[in-house]
Amino acid sequence: TITESDAATGRWAWKVPHGDGFEYVEVKGDIRLSDVDFGYTEEKQVLHDVSLYARPGQKIAFVGSTGAGKTTITNLINRFYDISDGSITYDGIELRRIKKAELRRSLGMVLQDTHLFTGTVMDNIRYGRLTATDEECIQAAKTANAHYFISHLPQGYDTMLTSDGANLSQGQRQLISIARAAVSDPPVLILDEATSSIDTRTEKLIEQGMDKLMEGRTVFVIAHRLSTVRNSNAIMVLENGRIIERGDHDDLLQLRGKYYQLYTGMFELS
């Protein structure tokens, strides 16, 4: 079994059995899916022959209608489910050989439904890495553009949050979620865009925070607004569990296919 450890290198590394002992292989964030099929049941196949390659520092966006398979792909990378056929590798290591808990520690998640718990703002940020110092949590909040609003809360970082952060706005909860991901400093990020209505100023803060968080990492974005995927290295257009188009924004517009139809408003994303 392969686990994650930074004991030998001071950085994210896989502890890989080698000979009579172990070797430490730096975690880079190289994710490959090859000819992946998946179904929640044998009768209901959800993904068909999905192949993609995400290199460290790349941003890969998934677009398509509800049920196209966008979230399913990220669930497979998380190993919430195991694939039916094909292979998924992480830095050349078969995903099934990596312990689930260790795998998920290396994956930062910013989801549209932000889960906060009863405790201080600082506690909620530190949940991303329980050994993080106060200074590291504050720096993560600055990266996420959350520091300003937190500083203006009644007790700042010591302000108590109610269950699911009900005493914060949706946008503020999202900023804390970004800070939590930043403090974990993961090699790979999975971002599921918020579809809830957020005021324009906060939306801009979230966008800037996301941009800073994504620097130098492998990033998968489940996109609900095409305006946010224009700068992606590769856009995967899914339909009925298949990648029907792939390329960057300009390439896909020139194809004048499904992405072009989505982008020009002929179809709605959901």
Query: Residue ranges of the domains in the chain?
Result: 29-85+104-263
> According to the model, what pLDDT value does residue 269 have?
59
How many degrees, rounded to 5, is the angle at CA 72 between CA 32 and CA 97?
Answer: 45
Alpha-carbon distances, residue 188 vs 60, 69, 200, 261 (angstroms): 11, 20, 28, 30
Of the candidates 62, 52, 42, 57, the residue with the CA atom closest to the CA atom of residue 88: 52
- Sign of the alpha-carbon dihedral angle for 13, 222, 64, 57: negative
d(CA 181, CA 189): 8
Contacts of residue 145, defined as CB under 8 A and 6 or more positions apart, other chains included, come to 175, 178, 205, 206, 208, 209, 212
Of the candidates 190, 192, 7, 191, the residue with the CA atom closest to the CA atom of residue 106: 190
Q: Walk along the chain (270 residues) and give the pLDDT tens digit of each residue.
A: 455 555 444 567 778 777 787 777 788 899 999 999 999 888 888 999 999 999 988 999 999 888 889 999 999 999 999 999 999 999 999 999 888 988 888 899 888 778 899 999 999 999 998 989 999 999 999 998 999 999 999 999 999 998 888 889 888 998 999 999 999 888 999 988 765 557 778 878 888 888 888 888 999 999 887 877 888 999 999 999 999 999 999 999 999 999 999 888 865 555
**CA dihedral of residues 211, 213, 216, 218 (deg, nearest 10):** -90
> According to the model, what pLDDT value does residue 8 have?
45
Contacts of residue 268, defined as CB under 8 A and 6 or more positions apart, other chains included, come to 262
Partners of 126 in beta bridges: none
**What DSSP designation does 264 have?**
T
Alpha-carbon distances, residue 230 vs 50, 226, 227, 249 (angstroms): 22, 7, 6, 5
Q: Which helix (H) or strand (E) holds 249?
A: helix 249-255
Q: Which CATH superfamily is domain 29-85+104-263 in?
A: P-loop containing nucleotide triphosphate hydrolases (3.40.50.300)
> According to the model, what pLDDT value does residue 230 have?
86
State which amino acid sits at residue 247: G
d(CA 207, CA 199): 12
> According to the model, what pLDDT value does residue 188 have?
93
Asked if residues 185 and 230 have their Cβ atoms less than 8 Å apart, the reply is no
